[in-house]
Amino acid sequence: HPVIETTDISKVYRMGTEEIHALQSVSITIQRGEYVAFMGPSGSGKSTLMNIVGCLDTPSGGRYILNGHDVSNMTDNQLADVRNREIGFVFQSFNLLPRATALDNVALPLIYAGYGKSERQEIAREALRSVGLAERALHKPNELSGGQRQRVAIARALVNNPSIILADEPTGALDTRTSHEIMDLFEALYVKGNTIIMVTHEEDIARYAHRIVRLRDGLIETDVINHEVNTHH
Ligand code: ADP
Ligand code: ADP
């Protein structure tokens, strides 16, 4: 089965008497191992769609099947459970715990997954190694560069072996060179078989994805395979 399958999902925000139709009718299927960029102008519904796909919110209408589970009508607790198991999040602002070392930041999701301490440290060390940061394991975020912080966040996203990596503007806080380094890392994760979905408004960054979905006014405007994937190897 596909890893993501949405059928006619809509999202309405009610603000007093006003209704905002953030998503109108979005149907999208994403297979395991795809690398997809969501693009679109501000207000087109990217964040809303990411929030639903990431099980941070539920649609107002339509159906969302994640990895074979119908999550359209789950309670907040059920949703949190699915989220912790299935999704690794990467954010623009890294969202690391400032007082914790890189290793402890990466190990955090493993606490919820029920691993013991030594096992957590071992798995987290391996995840840091996989993003090229083995030597920085005991550094705190403020002792790391922006690119290194984002690598820590990516290691944290990977540590639970999620079905999908969801990255919301992952290069938004990085300079151009570092952005491309992070995109090279995403490409390597894609080659290893990870499923990646990222939201970006930067064409240069979207070109790394193998499929580009453009939203406008809460609808999918175009959904195309990217035949000119940007790789700098
Ligand atoms: P994008 O990420 O593409 O900028 P959003 O998904 O954030 O788009 O927003 C889509 C539309 O929904 C916009 O008109 C936005 O103002 C509105 N919107 C988003 N979130 C909320 C919310 N929590 N409450 C009310 N309106 C919202
Ligand atoms: P992004 O920079 O990713 O597009 P936004 O700044 O649009 O994010 O939104 C940040 C948060 O605020 C999101 O959780 C979104 O749902 C919410 N939001 C966006 N627009 C509105 C709005 N008009 N009213 C209330 N909340 C909103």
Ligand positioned closest to the Cα atom of 13 = 1
CA 134 to ligand 2 centroid distance, Å = 35
Quick one: pLDDT at residue 17? 94
What average pLDDT does the segment 162-189 reach? 96
Quick one: pLDDT at residue 231? 74
126-132 long-range contacts, Cβ below 8 Å, gap at least 24?
127/155, 127/156, 127/158, 127/159, 128/102, 128/103, 128/152, 128/155, 130/155, 130/158, 131/155, 131/158, 131/185, 132/185
Reported as a single tens digit per residue, the pLDDT across 148-174 is 999 999 999 999 999 999 999 999 999
> Per the structure block, which two tokens stand in for 186?
């995403």
Q: pLDDT-based confidence at 221, cuts 50/70/90?
A: very high
Reported as a single tens digit per residue, the pLDDT across 85-128 is 999 999 999 999 999 999 999 999 999 889 999 999 999 999 99
Ligand positioned closest to the Cα atom of 46 = 1
- Residues with C-beta less than 6 Å from any ligand 2 atom: 47, 168
Please count the other Cβ atoms lying within 10 Å of the Cβ belonging to residue 149. 24
Structure pTM? 0.89
Q: What is the enclosing helix (H) or strand (E) of 9? A: strand 4-15
Reported as a single tens digit per residue, the pLDDT across 31-64 is 999 999 999 999 999 999 999 999 999 999 999 9
Which mutation among 20, 51, 215 tests ligand 1's pocket best, with the greatest number of atoms within 8 A of CB? 20
Reported as a single tens digit per residue, the pLDDT across 80-90 is 999 999 999 99
The residue among 81, 77, 63 whose CA lies nearest residue 5 is 63
Quick one: pLDDT at residue 97? 97
CB 101 within 8 A of CB 154: no
Strand order in the sheet with 211-216: 87-91, 164-168, 196-199, 35-39, 211-216, 219-225
Instruction: Tell me: pLDDT of 232 over 70.
Output: no
